[in-house]
Amino acid sequence: MITFDKVSKKFGEITALESASFKVDKGEFVFLTGPSGAGKTTIIRLITGEYLPTSGTIEAASTKISQIPKRRLYLWRRKIGVIFQDYKLFDDRTVFENISVPLGFYKLNLGEIEEKVEKVLKLVGLQERKNLFPAQLAGGELQRTCLARAIVAAPEILLADEPTGNLDPKTAKEMVKLFEEINKKGTTVVMATHNEKVVDLLKTRVIELDRGKIVRDEKQGKYHV
């Protein structure tokens, strides 16, 4: 599903990722852990195509990402859902309207859009909040809106960069349980996180990074060895 083969990424003299090799199978749930600056976000952005590798190759869902022309990256990004720590929601649109944004790339009528949005609203528990604007939501509700937006078009891969970073422990636990539920439906999940309790809760695969290098890749791992 996702393969990194000796991938490095440099920004001038700074090496953000050094000769990273790993494979994520279809339907797998993988945590990327490590301190700030370890390379977690770099991996996420390499998968989305926002960054190009300095060397090495990346393949995901049978697509060689580094070979995609910029003008066609949008086609690749339709296959993935991305969740950011800082939400990136439209302030002037309601929860329903924000979630429906990815569906604008498809030829769907209003009834089909409403059906898909209502389905994910139910999954994340926001049916009663769908007509509110982001400024009217709590942090956990904002992140659940982002999750719903990321999965509304049924992506093959779900990427999350510190999705629990702004949440209290109880809400963070609820969020990761939603990710687990989505993963059980067949979506491949890659999550970058500092949250030790979240990682230890699921006991799934952990890829630990430090200074741009993979220092541990463990099935059913914990945050700390």
Please check whether residue 176 lies inside any domain of the structure: yes
Q: Is the pLDDT at 81 greater than 70, yes or no? A: yes
pLDDT tens digits along 168-184: 888 888 889 999 999 99
pLDDT tens digits along 117-153: 999 999 999 999 999 999 999 989 999 999 999 999 9
Q: Say what the pLDDT of residue 40 is.
A: 96
pTM of structure: 0.91
Interhelix angle 110-124/139-151, rounded to 10 degrees, is 130
Are the C-beta atoms of 175 and 143 separated by less than 8 Å? yes
Strand order in the sheet with 2-11: 14-24, 2-11, 55-60, 63-64
Please check whether residue 46 lies inside any domain of the structure: no
Q: Is the pLDDT at 215 greater than 70, yes or no? A: yes
Please check whether residue 157 lies inside any domain of the structure: yes
Q: What is the mean pLDDT of residues 190-213?
A: 93
Are the C-beta atoms of 190 and 160 separated by less than 8 Å? yes
Q: What is the mean pLDDT of residues 15-28?
A: 97
CATH code assigned at 129: 3.40.50.300
State the pairing for strand pair 188-192/63-64. unpaired
Please check whether residue 6 lies inside any domain of the structure: no
pLDDT above 70: percentage of residues in the chain: 100
Please check whether residue 106 lies inside any domain of the structure: yes
User: Which structural domain range is residue 30 located in?
Assistant: 24-36+62-218
Please check whether residue 48 lies inside any domain of the structure: no
Please check whether residue 4 lies inside any domain of the structure: no
Please check whether residue 140 lies inside any domain of the structure: yes
Residue 59 is classified by DSSP as E
Mean pLDDT of the chain: 93
Question: What is the count of structural domains for the chain?
Answer: 1
Are the C-beta atoms of 140 and 171 separated by less than 8 Å? yes
Residue 89 is classified by DSSP as -
